[in-house]
């Protein structure tokens, strides 16, 4: 059932490209417009939505954070991302024009289920983004957009994360289409770029895995790791940190690169591994340059820096000790490739330490208690 792979996690990381490709399938009409046929909510209702609240836990919440950057940019409505277990305890502002998006791989996460029940009681519509047909979360939602990642067995969520981003992006582009906040051509262009992602993810798997494994060998003795990113790189940093802590039991912190000087930089000492998600170097804009200066700052304090950067980025080459390369792609789509070496890194570190990659201690695949 592992299809020849040493672990389910290994197999599932190698299914990242197909998770993206399959989640894009069947979401377009003959004209090439987005048609979310399975979502039985009237276009009129979608047009009236003035706020989105994503409720989710763990990895799914980081997919929600990534989607926030894209949806706010495309649809021009506020998107809040709330950990499902915090949501009910703060008297959230919900109206019939709020769309609550519950993201869950298993569809059985009790915290997320309780959050969506609360939202429905307040009169909001709930749309589930879920990987498991017929599970509780989609059953109790007003609508569902299934991710087609295929069954995910390893406790660490990998391919589902990519599929969740793609499904949330399809929702965002659909909202932009019905609300008219983007031109049809712009939407088509992004869809075309999304369709090109599986090949780019495959490239990372084919050409960066050795580099990642070498880094894992070199760093497997490290007691802690820091991950930092900006913009969509921020949730990717959080996700990379979560993977490493849950599978390799390494103490990690993921944070927004701009926070460095507000505290975390105090943690940096000689040899501390710091993983930095570097935005596209195309045009070497402020976003890129700010993140590069973050690398310089931690390096000046003795950090061992690992960058995830666009192929040929001269600054990453110059300032980072190790670089995991990604093919060029638009910033909003880069999480789909950037997370891949971080998934491999966590898996390799766990394997080197002789740990059970698929079943880390103390964790369950789906958390069905509150």
Least gap, CB of 309 to ligand M6R (angstroms): 24
Site stretch for ligand M6R (CB under 6 A), options 58-66, 201-209, 272-280, 323-331:
58-66
Q: For residue 47, what are its two tokens?
A: 């047009």
Interaction between residue 366 and ligand M6R (CB under 6 A): yes
**In a 10 Å sphere around its CB, with 0-12 CB exposed, 13-18 middle and 19+ buried, how is residue 3 labelled?**
exposed
Interaction between residue 59 and ligand M6R (CB under 6 A): yes
Decide whether 137 or 295 has the Cβ nearer to ligand M6R: 137
Decide whether 155 or 232 has the Cβ nearer to ligand M6R: 155
Q: Which of residues 243-302 bind ligand M6R (CB under 6 A)?
A: 246
Residue 54 forms beta bridges with which residues? 81, 101
Decide whether 124 or 136 has the Cβ nearer to ligand M6R: 136
Interaction between residue 106 and ligand M6R (CB under 6 A): yes
Least gap, CB of 73 to ligand M6R (angstroms): 25
* Helix/strand/coil for 96: coil
Calpha distance 242→156 (Å, rounded): 9
Contact 309, 321 (CB under 8 A): no
**In a 10 Å sphere around its CB, with 0-12 CB exposed, 13-18 middle and 19+ buried, how is residue 352 labelled?**
middle
Among residues 20, 24, 60, 100, the one that binds ligand M6R under rule CB under 6 A: 60
Least gap, CB of 29 to ligand M6R (angstroms): 29
Give phi and psi for 176, each to the nearest 5: -65, -35
Alpha carbon distances (Å) from 360 to 79, 243, 261, 277, 356:
33, 11, 33, 26, 6
Least gap, CB of 339 to ligand M6R (angstroms): 11
Least gap, CB of 212 to ligand M6R (angstroms): 18
* Helix/strand/coil for 367: coil
Interaction between residue 343 and ligand M6R (CB under 6 A): no
Interaction between residue 220 and ligand M6R (CB under 6 A): no
Alpha carbon distances (Å) from 211 to 172, 206, 298:
35, 11, 22
Q: Which of residues 305-334 bind ligand M6R (CB under 6 A)?
A: none
Least gap, CB of 367 to ligand M6R (angstroms): 5
Task: Please report the sign of the dihedral spanned by the C-alpha atoms of residue 214, residue 198, residue 134, residue 101.
Answer: positive
Residues in CB range of 206: below 8 A, 6 or more apart? none
Contact 314, 266 (CB under 8 A): no
Decide whether 104 or 208 has the Cβ nearer to ligand M6R: 104
Least gap, CB of 6 to ligand M6R (angstroms): 19
Catalytic residues: 365
Calpha distance 62→73 (Å, rounded): 17
Contact 86, 134 (CB under 8 A): no
With CB under 6 A as the rule, give the number of residues binding ligand M6R: 16
Q: Minimal CB distance to ligand M6R: which residue?
A: 58
Q: Which of residues 116-155 bind ligand M6R (CB under 6 A)?
A: 155
Calpha distance 173→337 (Å, rounded): 20
Site stretch for ligand M6R (CB under 6 A), options 69-77, 99-107, 205-213, 257-265:
99-107
Decide whether 57 or 101 has the Cβ nearer to ligand M6R: 57
Interface residue list for ligand M6R (CB under 6 A)? 57-60, 104-106, 109, 112, 155-157, 242, 246, 366-367
């Amino acid at each position: 059932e592992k299809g020849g792979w040493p672990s389910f996690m290994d197999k599932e990381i190698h299914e990242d490209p197909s998770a993206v490709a399959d989640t894009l399938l069947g979401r377009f009409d003959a004209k090439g417009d987005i048609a979310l046929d399975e979502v039985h909510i009237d276009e009129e209702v979608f047009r009236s939505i003035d706020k989105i609240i994503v409720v989710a836990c763990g990895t799914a919440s980081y997919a929600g954070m990534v989607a926030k950057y894209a949806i706010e940019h495309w649809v021009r409505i506020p998107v809040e991302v709330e950990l499902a277990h915090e949501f009910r305890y703060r008297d959230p502002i919900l109206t019939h024009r709020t769309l609550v998006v519950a993201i869950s791989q298993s569809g059985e996460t009790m915290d997320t289920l309780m959050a969506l029940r609360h939202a429905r009681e307040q009169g909001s519509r709930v749309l589930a983004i879920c990987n498991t047909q017929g599970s509780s979360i989609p059953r109790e939602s007003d609508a569902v957009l299934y991710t087609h990642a295929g069954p995910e067995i390893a406790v660490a969520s990998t391919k589902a994360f990519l599929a969740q981003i793609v499904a949330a992006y399809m929702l965002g582009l659909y909202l932009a289409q019905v609300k008219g906040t983007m031109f049809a051509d712009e939407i088509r262009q992004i869809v075309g770029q999304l369709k090109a992602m599986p090949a780019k993810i495959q490239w990372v798997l084919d050409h960066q895995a050795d580099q990642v494994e070498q880094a894992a060998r070199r760093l497997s003795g490290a007691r802690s790791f820091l991950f930092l990113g900006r913009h969509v790189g921020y949730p990717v940093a959080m996700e990379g940190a979560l993977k490493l802590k849950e599978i390799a039991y390494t103490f990690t912190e993921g944070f927004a690169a701009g926070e460095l000087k507000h505290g975390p930089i105090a943690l940096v000492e000689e040899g501390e591994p710091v993983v930095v998600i570097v935005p596209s170097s195309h045009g070497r804009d402020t976003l890129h340059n700010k993140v590069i200066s973050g690398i310089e700052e931690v390096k000046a304090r003795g950090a061992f820096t690992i960058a995830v950067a666009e192929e040929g980025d001269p600054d990453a080459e110059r300032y980072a000790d190790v670089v995991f390369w990604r093919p060029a792609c638009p910033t909003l789509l880069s999480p789909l490739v950037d997370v891949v070496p971080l998934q491999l890194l966590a898996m390799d570190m766990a394997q080197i330490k002789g740990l059970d990659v698929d079943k880390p201690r103390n964790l369950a695949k789906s958390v069905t208690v509150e």
